Amino acid sequence: MKHLDAAEDAIRSDADLATVTRDEHMAVIRRWRGVRSLHAGNPAMADVCIRVMQQRYESTGNESIGDQLHALRGTWLVEQRKYQEAIPELEQASDDAFSLDLLARTKRESGDAPGADATLRRLFAIHASTMDSVLVVEPARQKSAVSANCFDCPVTASQNWSRTQEELTLATGLKSSLRSVSRMFAPTLSARATQPRSRSLERQVH
């Protein structure tokens, strides 16, 4: 969480940052704070993130915030194994690699194999030279190729992701998502790095 805290502090301390830009960066932070909190067994924090993002989205109508909100809601529902409810949320999230990968696995779990395969094709269509592609798209392509050559193995690429691999991907992806924010506010981060910080649950997301 230290990367989230550092990025959030930098964003909040920049008085010259446009409100729309601040809102969009904070939405990314709240999404990943919520995801990591869910995986750490802290659903209360994820719920706070969802409520704050919902309020901001309703007040601004900013679709970038909406994308992050749907992605987090989808993850929250998947964690509860409410796959049918999670699917429409994830379908409304942006087509980033992490959301598509989770959507494919969720459709597979719900019994929609054709839908999962169609989502994987969308995932494989991403050819950008990004960290997301390295962490999610390329490994998924490799797993799909292995599965296609294994005639005795009905398990497909989306089913092969272990929880350990998912956690590693999300953790590294979080750093990728926040890297541009950290670079933007590097001077502020350096100045504040040694300052003590004490905040409540609400302060972390508001």
The pLDDT tens digits along the chain (206 residues) read 677 878 777 887 788 889 999 999 999 989 999 999 999 999 999 999 999 999 999 999 999 999 999 999 999 999 999 999 999 999 999 888 899 999 999 999 999 999 999 999 999 988 877 777 788 888 888 887 766 555 445 444 444 444 444 444 454 555 555 554 455 555 544 554 445 444 445 445 55
The predicted pLDDT at position 10 comes to 80
* 102: Cα separation from own chain's centroid: 10
The predicted pLDDT at position 159 comes to 42
Structural domain range at position 23? 2-205
pTM of the model: 0.69
CA distance 138 to 130: 11
Q: How many domains does the chain have?
A: 1
| Other residues' Cβ atoms within 10 Å of the Cβ of residue 13 | 13
Alpha helices in the chain (DSSP H): 2-13, 19-39, 43-60, 63-79, 83-92, 97-109, 113-124, 131-132, 138-148, 163-184, 186-192, 201-205
CA angle 21, 26, 32 (to 5 degrees): 135
CA distance 73 to 49: 10
